[in-house]
Structure 1
Amino acid sequence: MKTTIQKVPQRQGWSWRYKMLEEIYKSENWHAHQEFELVLHRNFKGKAVIGSYEGQIEHNDLILIGPNVVHSFESIDTDENNLCETHIIWFREEWIAKAMYSCVELRQLAPLLQRANKGLSFSPKTAEMVYKHLNNFESLSSIGQLAVLIQVLAELYADQSSLTLLSRSTDVKKNTTHHNNNKIDRVCQYIDNHFASDITLKKLANYMYVSENTIHRWFIQNFNESFSQYLKKLRLNYSAQLLTTTNLSISLIAEKVGYRNQANFNRLFKEYKHLTPSKYRLKFK
């Protein structure tokens, strides 16, 4: 799909932008922008496409999307008497970085914002709390809105049930993993570099000089999924990207993402994307 680079208009004298939309039907082009986007859907049933992730969206779904990550939302089963309600907050990476630099307390948000580069979905409880914060947002002064925005970010930070939607960044400007000394970053970097080979939990544990149980615990704590689930999602998401951006044969794509048996690849891909690789290519290329 063709990506549109959008420019989010900034209000004079404001560091972020909030918008609430009420629509009978919602449909967006695949797009990206420089800002973080926090989007809350109410009275909504539809589909989200974020990078190579595709999933269902329902009432009270709350998602944080990082800068330059391609995405779109589309509603289905619309009801003229029950308008789709969308609350969106955009804020720039430079602004939040400067805020964290100046305010030590805000630096706790850094891991959350880094994870947003792979899309983050939050619990219904957090979504409801955020909705309550935003309910009268536009009636507040600029300082009042800033205070609410910090409260909203605090709610996101406190959510221990948030889920990463993608296994690798789909930043349209740079698709690289920044190598930090953080152990999770090192693990993700290793997997990104070796996912096409015969990577195992044991090999990863040996690389990190820890036990296999420790690696397993890290994945559950940080991604709410096992190592094998993370690896499978990474491989299948990357294969989806290759299907839509190249003319490589499906058998070659399967090999490039670490599957030597094409029948097994086809089965896993269909389970994950609900389409065969060939039908997925026809639909999204």
Structure 2
Amino acid sequence: MEPRLLKVKKTEADSFSVNRFVYNGNFPGLWHYHSEYELTLIVKSSGTRFVGDHIDRYNENDLIFIGKNLAHTWKSDNPGENSNVCCEALVIHFREDFLGNGFFTVPELQTVEKFLRVSARGFKISGKTQAEVIALMYEIVHKTGINKLITLLEILSLLADSQDLTLLSSDGYGQYINENENDRLNKVHAYIMNNFKSQIRLTDAADIAHMSPTAFSRYFKQRMQKSFSQFVIELKIGYACKLLMQHQFSILQICYECGFQNVSNFNKLFKKFTEISPKQFQLKHKSLRHQASLYQA
């Protein structure tokens, strides 16, 4: 979908921003982009993460680096009737020239410059690097002046030298920004997010975008590097994974809750996107959870 351009706010006293965002119920879920680089730590929340044309589940301690002008959003799981549920994220934003033009081109920062360039596709950060960066993010909140700046550079150094990075968006993904179309396409995005658990239809999305189904299908695929139907199916599969990990519902119940018409089709599509069946996924997660409990004990 066409993302909305957002302006990142910071104080006049700072060259970059460090913010703690807390929301009651859900994250705003706005599909957006900006000229700043972004490092986001999910402190509290679970749901579906969108980075470019990549869709995946996220949970607490999810750590993501977003390149400049790369569209992204986090769609929280519905908190249901529990109004006390909150979502929290710790976010760092900085511009490429926040320390002056050409700062990252000096020889000593060659690896950082390369990291920032490749981050146009977005990175998921895991392993030892994840733990180290999270610790520094909690520290930077309480720092000021040069110590705050040094901590950010330390974070960038860790990321630039890390082997614990996974690229998210595809290499061919690109944005074609048209500000005049933002409002109507954000409505289409909202329609998909709010109705993916039902029998969502391309014709309805096309009507919202005021386009013919054929034109809308071509337009969507050009910008997302995947068809409308694939986008919706990946969203359904991600939600199914969440329900399977809860071990509270049968596969039949999950099938219909995610908007699939029959179990056979659900099993086929689930295996296509995850390479294992829903039952195998559930058993694998149960085994991993058991191993984790033994390790903690």
**TM-score (ref. length: structure 1):** 0.59
Partner of 1:99: 103
Partner of 1:149: 152
What pairs up with 1:97-136 in 2 under 5 angstroms?
98-101=102-105, 103-136=106-139
Distance 1:100 1:27, change over 3 A: same
Partner of 1:38: 39
Q: Are 1:20 and 2:24 an aligned pair?
A: no
Listed one character per residue, the Cα deviations across residues 239-283 of structure 1 (whole Å, up to 9, x for unaligned) are: xxxx99984389989x99xxxxxxxx99x948972569xx9xxxx
Q: CA RMSD in A?
A: 3.7
Q: Are 1:163 and 2:166 an aligned pair?
A: yes
Q: For structure 2, which runs of at least 5 residues remain unmatched after alignment?
A: 179-205, 238-258, 260-297
Q: For structure 1, which runs of at least 5 residues remain unmatched after alignment?
A: 175-242, 257-264, 280-285
Report the identity percentage: 23
CA-CA distance at 1:171 after TM superposition: 3.9
Q: Which amino acid aligns with 2:14?
A: W
Distance 1:99 1:246, change over 3 A: farther
Distance 1:62 1:247, change over 3 A: same
Distance 1:125 1:85, change over 3 A: farther
Give SS of 2:57's match: strand
Contact 1:118/1:170 (CA < 8 Å) preserved in 2? no
Listed one character per residue, the Cα deviations across residues 127-164 of structure 1 (whole Å, up to 9, x for unaligned) are: 22122112232321221110110111122123213111
Which of 90, 98, 106 is the aligned partner of 2:93?
A: 90
Distance 1:82 1:28, change over 3 A: closer
Partner of 1:248: 214
Distance 1:135 1:91, change over 3 A: same
Higher relative contact order (CA 8 A, sep 6+): 2
CA-CA distance at 1:17 after TM superposition: 0.9
**TM-score (ref. length: structure 2):** 0.56
CA distance in 1, matches of 2:133, 2:78: 25
CA-CA distance at 1:32 after TM superposition: 0.9
